[in-house]
Each structure stands twice: as structure tokens, then as C-alpha cells.
């Protein structure tokens, strides 16, 4: 908590469901993260440039452009490509496979750094985030 408090890690949540956004925001803020949110891909891209988060949590199924689309856009952008990306899927195995093959079809792009299935287990989410952000000590 101390390290996090000293240097908060910024997380952007991209999900079209306000309940999920509220829940994950509360959860992550309680664990010392600085949280922003966006409800679709376009807003997410704007927010990325504005607040420069270190980790992006991306919901796959969203109206309009999908989360995978966002993932590819980020990986292709030299300024954003190194971001830690965690994909959140509705159905675990199927979407995880889809995810890999979708990324695979985009010429050697790096896939997501983590994949989490709904219902999201808070412990798993925090564990993934702590792995990705060495600076954060979980409280």
C-alpha cells in the first residue's frame, strides 16, 4: 500500500457496463490504483493519450468496435504498444482462443498480457495487476 500510495499505478477500465466499471473502480481504488474509465473504444483511445495509464483492462464484447480491436490498435501504435493489456472476457476458453487467433491474424502483434474471465475474481485481478506492475505492493 505504501509504495502504491507514493506512486499510484494508473489503470484504465474499458467496459460498456457501468456496473462493472463502478465495481472495478471501487475495488482498484481501494487497493491504491488510480482508475479512469471509458465506455467504448473511441473514448478509450482519447483517455489513453490524455492520462497515460500503465495498465488497460479491456472488455471484449462492447457495442461498436470490440475490445480486441482496441487491443490491436494499441499494439500497432508505437507510443502505446508497450502498455500492459488485460483482456476481460465473458466466456473464458472460447474467447481466450478467439483472442489469440485474432491477434495471430495481425502479423506477429503481441497478444494481451493477461486474460481474465467473468465473473471476475477480485484476487485474480489483483494478482495479475501486481505481476504487471512491479511498483505496486498490494495492501
Cell numbers 480491436 correspond to 69
Nearer to other proteins by Cβ, of 79 and 124: the residue is 124
Phi and psi at residue 124, to the nearest 5°: -65, -40
Q: Which residues pair with 59 in a beta bridge?
A: 88
For residue 42, the number of C-alpha atoms closer than 13 Å in the C-beta half-sphere is 3
Residues in contact with other proteins, shown as a per-residue x/- string from 76 to 95 under the rule CB under 8 A: --------------xx----
Is residue 62 close enough to count as binding other proteins by CB under 8 A?
Answer: yes
By CB under 8 A, name the one of 3, 8, 10, 16 that touches other proteins.
16
By CB under 8 A, name the one of 110, 122, 131, 139 that touches other proteins.
122
By CB under 8 A, name the one of 46, 64, 106, 138 that touches other proteins.
64
Is residue 135 close enough to count as binding other proteins by CB under 8 A?
Answer: no
Smallest separation (angstroms) from other proteins to the CB of 73: 19
C-alpha cell at 111: 497478444
Nearer to other proteins by Cβ, of 1 and 81: the residue is 1
Collapse the DSSP code of 47 into the 3-class scheme (helix H, G, I; strand E, B; otherwise coil) and give the result: helix
Burial of 64 (C-beta count, 10 Å sphere; 0-12/13-18/19+): exposed
Amino acid at each position: 500500500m505504501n509504495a502504491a500510495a507514493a506512486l499510484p499505478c494508473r489503470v484504465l477500465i474499458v467496459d460498456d457496463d457501468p456496473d462493472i466499471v463502478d465495481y472495478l473502480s471501487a475495488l482498484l481504488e481501494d487497493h491504491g490504483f488510480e482508475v479512469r474509465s471509458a465506455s467504448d473504444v473511441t473514448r478509450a483511445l482519447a483517455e489513453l493519450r490524455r492520462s497515460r495509464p500503465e495498465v488497460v483492462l479491456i472488455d471484449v464484447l462492447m457495442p461498436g468496435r470490440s475490445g480486441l480491436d482496441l487491443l490491436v490498435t494499441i499494439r500497432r501504435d508505437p507510443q502505446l504498444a508497450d502498455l500492459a493489456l488485460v483482456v476481460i472476457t465473458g466466456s473464458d476458453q472460447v474467447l481466450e482462443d478467439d483472442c489469440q487467433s485474432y491477434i495471430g491474424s495481425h502479423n506477429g502483434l503481441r497478444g494481451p498480457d493477461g486474460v481474465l474471465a467473468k465473473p471476475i475474481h477480485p484476487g485474480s485481478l489483483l494478482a495479475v495487476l501486481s505481476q504487471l506492475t512491479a511498483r505496486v505492493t498490494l495492501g
